[in-house]
Every structure is written in C-alpha cells, then in structure tokens.
Structure 1
Amino acid sequence: MRTILLPSERKDFLKKLFTIALPIGLQNLISSSLSFLDTLMIGQLGVTQIAGVGLGNQIFFLASLIFFGACSGATVFVSQFYGAQKYKSIQHVMLISFIVSLCGALVFAVPSVFFPIFLLRLFTTDMAVIEIGRQYLVTVGASYLLSACSMVISFSLRATNDAKSPLLISMASLGTNALLNWLLIFGIGPFPRLEVYGAALATVISRALELVLLIWIARKRKSPASFHLSQAIDGFEKSFLKQYMKTCLPVMLNEFLWALGMTAYKMVYSHMGTDVLASVNMTNSIQDLFLVFALGIGNASGIMIGNQIGKNQKEAAVRYAKALLFASFACGLFFGVFMASFSSLLPRMFNIPENIYEMTRLTLLFLSPILIIKSLSITLIVGVLRGGGDTRHALKIEMICVWLIGLPAAIISGLVLKLPIYYVVMIVSLDEFCKVLFIIPRIISNRWVNNLTEIG
C-alpha cells in the first residue's frame, strides 16, 4: 500500500479509511451479530422455526436491496457533491431516494401483510414452515417503510463523512431488538411468551426507534444529510432527475436483480430439503459476521473515491482504488482463516440435529477461502465502480455472473447432480471469481472514473 499512494496521501488515506470503514464495519458487525443472535434464539424453538423465519426474512432481504440500491446509487452523488461542497444538491438526491425507497417498500409491504402465504409458497410447499413464515411476515411487513427512510438518512450521513452517528444509532436500535427478542420470544418475567410473533414485534419496535434517532441526530448536528423538504424542492430540475436516474437506475436494478438471484439460490436450497434450508440460513448468519469489515471497506471505498472525484482529483482516486483493493484482499484473507478456525465451534451453538451440524460445519469450511474473492468483488463493485459513477458496467458484470454462471451452477449441482450442500455453495461461488476477473480490465483502463458534480 505504501508504494501505491503518494507520501503526502498516506496519512489522509489511513485516517479516512479508519474513520469511515471502521464505523461502517462495526455497524455491520453489530447488525450481523444480532442477526446471528436472533437466529440462535429462534433456533432454540426448532428447525421449522429457523426455516420459516429465514424465508420471512428473505422477503425483507428483497425489499431492503431496493432501498440499498437507491441509497447506494445516491451515495455516488452525495459523496461527490460533498467533496464539491454542493450541499443543496444533496437535498435533491435525498428527495428522490426517499420517493424511490418508499415505493419499493410498499411493493413488498402490501403482499407481506395481506398475502403472505402466496409469497411463501414461492419458496416451499412445507405447510409447517409456511405457517411460521406467515406469523412473522404479517407483523414485520409494515416496518419496511421505516427501514426505507432509515437507510436513506443513514447512507447520506455516511457519504458526508459521518459514519459514527449511524453506528451509535444502530447500536441502540439493534440492542433494543436483541433485548426485546429475548423477552418476547421466551416470555421472560412479566412478558408473554410470543415465540415467532415476539421476534417480529421486536423488529418493528427497533426499526421505529432507529428512524426517530436518525432524524433527531441529523437535525441536532445540522448535517448536510438533515433532510428539509422545502430545500429539496427549491431549484429542483428535471435535468437533475434524468442524470440521477441514468446513474442510479443501474444500481437499483443491480441490487434488485442480484437479490432475485440470491432468492433463486434460496429456492434451489429449499427444494433440497428443510434441513438444507435451515443449514444455509445458519451458515449465512455466521458468514455475515466474517464479512462485516469487507463490507465496511467496500462502502468506505465508494465514499472515499467519490470525494476525490468530486474534488476533481482523478489521479488520486485511481491510487485510492488500488490501495483499497489491497486492503480488501488482506481483510478477506484474515477473516477467511478466522472463519475456518471456528467452523466446528459456531454451529454447536444451535439446537440442531447432528446431520445439520455436520452440513453447516463443512459449508463454513468450504466457504472460508472464498471470503478473499468476496471481499475483492465487494470493493470492486460497491466501492470502485459505483464510487466512480460507472454503475452500468457494474450492473452488466454482476448480472452475467449471477444469472448466467451462479444460478445455473446451483441448479445443476443442487437439483440435477444432487450434490451435498457444501459442494453446491462452493460451486456457486464461481460467480464471485468471475466478477473479479471481468472487472479487473475495466479498473486497469481507468474508464470507470466519472465526475458527476457538474449536474448539481
């Protein structure tokens, strides 16, 4: 890394990396840890409950990827506008992000609340699993609207170099969620034993708390990410909307189609059996713990690179990209070794039969070396290409790899050849290798660098 950056850049680079990536990574760690804890608590109720709540969360996963797509695309603009000190344009970006995210939330909230069985039948025919998923969805569905608004504010705060506030609020919200889960799932003290319904209720309350705190902290600190409708509407032009959609629509499509691809993977796994589905849900919860800092570096990359491009420092942005790829490789290597070391211990924490334990242990072991490639692909797509405004190329690469490589690999290995799940997930990971291979030439060419601040 020392040979990549100029001597005058190293101190500022490391300061930004730690002040942005570390809080984002810690926020992801808290979120993933509590998601793991949720799965662990639900797991005490049985395998059917793990599978049912896992499918219920898959619907939110699809919805959240629309929010993430809108907000991730918006971050491209917000980070560059912040670097160029065009704060009014940040309000315009947030207005569009709120509208898009809330529309996406409604698309999933309405069927989740009113037609949950229809949604769940897309994944499984096991009526016991469907009933558990229904109990969860009808309660948690309305909270999608809360999450949509929270994500817009949280991402905007990060893009204006305030990653600390979302971290602290996430700690409060997710801590509340964990506590309420414990009280309401198991009926501790004066609280009733609500099991799956209790988990859903805890989620709704914690998401409402998160939104209230985000609005409050943004206003209190007079952040450029504090949303004011009057400022957002004033001076808004159609040409801005056109350029915004040109850049952000590929990101939204990317995230949504990627999420559909991940959902299709989950459908393949569910047709391999309820035991396999439960094992995959546990594996994902554990793996997410080891990816949190890779995600932190990836998200920080987009902000850091966007800030440099907004300042019209394109050569510095290119050097930042190379240094951030080095950091993501080191992160993936470290946590891959760590996950392999604990692959036998972590599944023991769940109340599961021996055959599911063995499936989960081997799946974690097989996925450990893949963490290096996943870390690189996250930084390349979420950080470098999007931070540089090259969102259409990112969309193209990811869709080819997920839909034309990963999904056929899952179907053939899982449903045709009927291989064990640990072989299936390793074969499916070919999509991550291909992403890295296909993007590297684009990075070398420097055609990914685009300054978007002229439209503001």
Structure 2
Amino acid sequence: MLSESVDLKAEKKEFNRKFLSIIMPLLVSSIFSQCLTFIDQWMVSTLGSTAIAAVGVSTNFFSVYFTFLYGCNTGAGIYLTRYWGQKNIKDFQRIIWTAVTVTFTVGLVMCLAAMIFPDIIIRLFNRDPLVIEKAKPYMRIVAVSYLLDAICYAVSFCFRNIGNVKIPMIQGIGSMMFNMLFNYMFIFGKLGSPKLGVTGAALGTLAARIVELIGLLLYFFLSDNPIRKNLFKALKTLNVGLYKEYLKTSLPLCANDMLWSLGLSFYYMVYGTRGTEVYAGMSILNTMEMFAKLAIMGFAGACTIMLGIEMGSADMPKVYRYADRFNRVSIIAGLLSCSIIVALMLPVQHIYGIKGTLEGECVRNCMCVLAIYCIPNAVNCIKVEGIFRSGGDVKYLTLMDAGSIWMIGMPLTLILGLIFKVDIWYVYAAHIAIELFKLPLGQRRLRSRKWYHNVTEAVSSVENN
C-alpha cells in the first residue's frame, strides 16, 4: 500500500509537470489568437455597425470551414499522438499527408463557393443591402486564405500532437502582430497603403496568413525534427484503404463539428431578424465567448495530447487515472472562464464605444448569461473535446455535441426567437439548456470507460502500395 501511494504521488507530480508544460504555451497561443480576432473586430468597429455585421457574416461562413479543419486535424491527432507514443514515424507521416489532402480539397471547394456565390451565402445570415455590399468584397478576398489555412493548421497540429506546443504559441503571437500591422495599413490607409476600410481588413487577414504559412514551413523543413525525414516518400504510400480508415474516424468528427457550426449559424440567422444593431452586438459577443473559452480549450487541448501519448504507450490504467484528473480540474477551467467574462463585462462596452446603445445592452445582458454558461460548458467540453475525442469515441461525442444543439438548442432558439420573439438574451440562454442536457450523458460515459477505441491498429494494418 505504501509503494502504491508513493507511485501515485510520483504520477501526480508527473501529471502536473506535463500539464503545466503543455497548458501554458497553449493558453498563450490561444490568447494571442483571440486577441487577433478582438483587435481585428475593434479596428473594424471604428467603421460602424454595418462594417461589424459585414465582417461577422463572413466570419460565420468561415466558421463552417474552420470546424471541418478542426475536425479533420483533431481526427488526425487521435492517430498522431498515439503513433508518437509508439515512436511510429512512418504511419505518423502518412496520417499527416492524408489530413492535408482532405482539408485542402474541401478548402478549395469553400474558396470557390465564397468567390462565385457570395450574395447567396451572405443572404443566409443577413439581408441588409448595406451589409451585403460591404461583405461581398471581404468574403471574396478572405476566401483565398482558406487554402492556406488547410496547410497552416496541419503543420501546427503536427507540432502540437508531438507535445511541441511552443511552435503553435510562436505562430499565434506572430500571426497577431502581422495581422495588426497589415490591418492598420489597409483599413486606415497608413504606411503608404490606400484606405480600404472593410476590404482592407480582408487584405490584412490574407497577407498575415501568407506570412504565417511561410514561417511555419521554413521552420518545419529547416529544423531538426524526425517528422520531416523521408516525408515526401510517405506521400507515395497513400492509398484508398488508408483514406477509408482515416475517414472512419475523422468524418464523424467533421460531421459533429460542422453540425455544431451550422447550428450556431442558425442562431445567427435568428439574431439577424432583430436588425443590424443586434446582429453586430451578437458578433461582438461571439468574440467575448471565444475569450471565455480560452482556458477551457487550453485544458481540453492538454488533455488530448497527454492522453493520446499515454494511449500510444498502452498503459491503460494510467490513461484512465489521467482522464479522472482532467475531469476534476474541469471545474477550475470553468471558474477561470467565468472570471474572464466578469472582468470583460464593463471594459468591452467602452472599447467598442457601445455603452448606452442597443448593441451595448445586448452585449451586457448576454455576457451575464455567458458567465453562467461557462461552468457547465467547461465540464462538458473537457470530456468531449479532450477525453472522448482522444479516445476515438466519435459516435458518442457526436450524440452529445451535435445532438444537443439540434435537438435542444435549435428548437428552443426557434420557439423563443421567432415564435415568442422574446428579448435576445433569453434566446441566447438556450446555450445553458444544452450544457445541462449534456452533463449526465458525459459523466455516465466517463465512468463506463467505453470511450477508448484502438483506432491505430486498423490504419497500421493497411498495406503500402
């Protein structure tokens, strides 16, 4: 008993050391990434509510593609962390190429859709003629960055899933700095650039993404890491069987994330019926929600990496103990997120200059709801995005995630927003109902330990051509 107690204490210290070494760079990366969105939106806010709504419409469309990117790369991450734990570089490289080709293909389709049919896409979210006029050129320019995002996210997740989270952190800082510079130039006509307003914000985003991609690729191929060796030889080993095995895991994740994103887009369609001011206010709130989730997603990201690597070493009792520890610390993530929202509640109205306006009232009241929402969301998110996703339990997490928004969130939003037409903050409170629905489902699944699946065995068995 004494030996076991000492081992558990040593394991706890090891857990804390690994967790802190991963969580801090992830949080810094997320903070800078979200600051980029915040500063970008703040710069656009100086152009008025119509400009905020125009950028918000384009962002909502991109979020659909982003969730696909996230689903594909986290799907790849289920394999990558385990292969890294096994020191299986060959299959690690094959999964990287598989993810890149899939996401780039979808990025090309989304890019062409945004460039050819911007009117149709924009009208799904907002029918204000002024918003449509400003959103069209923004969407067409930003669409080009979709192709760059496919490669950027793949390389970033590659480093992240081997535990090298400092590179995504540097990427996030660099991306924010360059985007601020280019936005300053193109939006306001500084440093010899023409004053382009909303269109300038799109050019700033695209220019920053180009610089980001160049920097990532230079580091990847010039640094001394085992992943780049014989990387292009691995490209020749891709075959239909490998894609099938990868997509068995990744497509349900993509479907879950895209269904979730489409559900959120449905919310914004409802918000859009309340006028441009309310829609602009909800676009600002969306940025605040992303700030609130920084701690939550950081904890979930650390959970995914640590559990995945331990699964690769096949020490399942240790994996289950790690999962239980992450479940306990999820409350801390929720309280941190709640504190962030409370701290931002007053400053955000002054920063955006919306105090005393309909936008300001909308943001203030919805942030009160958001502060409450953060705690159950943290508990659920660390299970779904961290424990269940790393375990390859894609069907159950889809039931919890996408199922909740379509079966609970959307009907409530429709009834409250379009039928009863209650104040928008009551409509937004439907988010809390979703999280309460998910709480017992997640806890029951965690205790059953049925969330672990050996997904790498099938991929490794696929013969190379």
| Other-structure match for 1:246 | 248
Distance 1:30 1:341, change over 3 A: closer
User: Which of 228, 247, 255 is 2:257 aligned to?
Assistant: 255
**Which TM-score applies when normalising by structure 2?**
0.94
| Other-structure match for 1:193 | 195
Residue 298 of structure 2 aligns to which amino acid in structure 1? Answer: G
Q: What count of residue pairs does the alignment treat as equivalent?
A: 453
Q: CA deviation at 1:199?
A: 0.5
The 5 A counterparts of 1:64-83 are: 64-83=66-85
Distance in 2, matches of 1:212 and 1:228, equals 21
| Other-structure match for 1:11 | 13
User: Which of 340, 364, 368 is 2:342 aligned to?
Assistant: 340
Distance in 2, matches of 1:428 and 1:324, equals 23
Residue 341 of structure 2 aligns to which amino acid in structure 1? Answer: M
Distance in 1, matches of 2:208 and 2:189, equals 18
Distance 1:84 1:407, change over 3 A: same
| Other-structure match for 1:438 | 441
| Other-structure match for 1:383 | 386
| Other-structure match for 1:159 | 161
Q: Is the 8 A contact 1:71 1:151 kept in 2?
A: yes
| Other-structure match for 1:121 | 123
More displaced stretch, 432-441 vs 81-90? 432-441
Q: Secondary structure at the match of 2:196?
A: coil
The answer for unaligned runs of 5 or more in structure 1 is none
Distance in 1, matches of 2:229 and 2:33, equals 25
User: Which of 231, 234, 254 is 1:232 aligned to?
Assistant: 234
More displaced stretch, 141-150 vs 326-335? 326-335
User: Which of 209, 212, 215 is 1:207 aligned to?
Assistant: 209
Say yes or no: does 1:452 pair with 2:445.
no
Say yes or no: does 1:397 pair with 2:400.
yes
Distance 1:420 1:226, change over 3 A: farther
Q: Deviations over 1:9-64 (max 9, x none)?
A: 11221122122222122111111111011111111100010001100111111111
Residue 221 of structure 1 aligns to which amino acid in structure 2? Answer: S
**Which TM-score applies when normalising by structure 1?**
0.95
Q: Deviations over 1:407-443 (max 9, x none)?
A: 1111111111111111111123311222222121111
Q: CA deviation at 1:99?
A: 1.2
Q: CA deviation at 1:229?
A: 5.0
Distance in 2, matches of 1:183 and 1:233, equals 40
Distance 1:358 1:160, change over 3 A: same
Q: Deviations over 1:249-291 (max 9, x none)?
A: 2111111111111111111111122111111111111221121
Q: Is the 8 A contact 1:62 1:256 kept in 2?
A: yes
| Other-structure match for 1:171 | 173
Q: Secondary structure at the match of 2:293?
A: helix
Residue 189 of structure 2 aligns to which amino acid in structure 1? Answer: G
| Other-structure match for 2:463 | none
Q: Is the 8 A contact 1:26 1:292 kept in 2?
A: no
Q: Deviations over 1:223-268 (max 9, x none)?
A: 3444855332354455433322221121111111111111111111
Distance in 1, matches of 2:132 and 2:430, equals 29
Distance in 2, matches of 1:234 and 1:358, equals 57
Residue 18 of structure 1 aligns to which amino acid in structure 2? Answer: L
Residue 159 of structure 1 aligns to which amino acid in structure 2? Answer: N
Residue 60 of structure 2 aligns to which amino acid in structure 1? Answer: Q
Q: CA deviation at 1:344?
A: 2.1
| Other-structure match for 2:45 | 43
Q: CA deviation at 1:222?
A: 3.1
More displaced stretch, 324-333 vs 62-71? 324-333
Distance in 2, matches of 1:31 and 1:325, equals 26
Q: CA deviation at 1:217?
A: 1.4
Q: CA deviation at 1:162?
A: 0.6
| Other-structure match for 1:61 | 63
Distance in 2, matches of 1:222 and 1:424, equals 52
| Other-structure match for 1:310 | 312
Q: Is the 8 A contact 2:35 2:176 kept in 1?
A: no
Q: Is the 8 A contact 1:117 1:130 kept in 2?
A: yes
Distance 1:225 1:396, change over 3 A: farther
User: Which of 362, 366, 378 is 2:365 aligned to?
Assistant: 362
| Other-structure match for 2:27 | 25
User: Which of 401, 407, 410 is 2:410 aligned to?
Assistant: 407
> Kindly, what percent of the aligned residue pairs are identical?
29
Distance in 2, matches of 1:357 and 1:240, equals 51
More displaced stretch, 226-235 vs 65-74? 226-235
The 5 A counterparts of 1:273-312 are: 273-312=275-314
Q: Is the 8 A contact 1:52 1:132 kept in 2?
A: yes
Q: Deviations over 1:128-180 (max 9, x none)?
A: 11111112111111110000111011111100111101111221122100111
Distance in 2, matches of 1:209 and 1:18, equals 30
Distance in 1, matches of 2:209 and 2:38, equals 17
Q: Is the 8 A contact 1:88 1:231 kept in 2?
A: no
Q: Secondary structure at the match of 1:440?
A: helix
The answer for unaligned runs of 5 or more in structure 2 is 461-465
Residue 365 of structure 1 aligns to which amino acid in structure 2? Answer: C
Distance in 2, matches of 1:222 and 1:64, equals 30
Q: Is the 8 A contact 1:153 1:225 kept in 2?
A: no
Q: Secondary structure at the match of 1:191?
A: coil
Q: Is the 8 A contact 2:291 2:340 kept in 1?
A: no
Q: Deviations over 1:320-353 (max 9, x none)?
A: 1111122221121123033124312212211336
Residue 391 of structure 1 aligns to which amino acid in structure 2? Answer: V
Q: Deviations over 1:91-127 (max 9, x none)?
A: 1101110111012211210021122111101112111
Q: Secondary structure at the match of 2:297?
A: helix
Q: Is the 8 A contact 2:33 2:175 kept in 1?
A: no
Q: Is the 8 A contact 1:410 1:428 kept in 2?
A: no
Distance 1:346 1:180, change over 3 A: same
Distance in 1, matches of 2:203 and 2:330, equals 37
Distance in 2, matches of 1:40 and 1:238, equals 46
Q: Is the 8 A contact 2:295 2:336 kept in 1?
A: no
Q: Is the 8 A contact 1:140 1:201 kept in 2?
A: yes
Distance in 1, matches of 2:162 and 2:441, equals 31
Distance in 2, matches of 1:98 and 1:321, equals 29
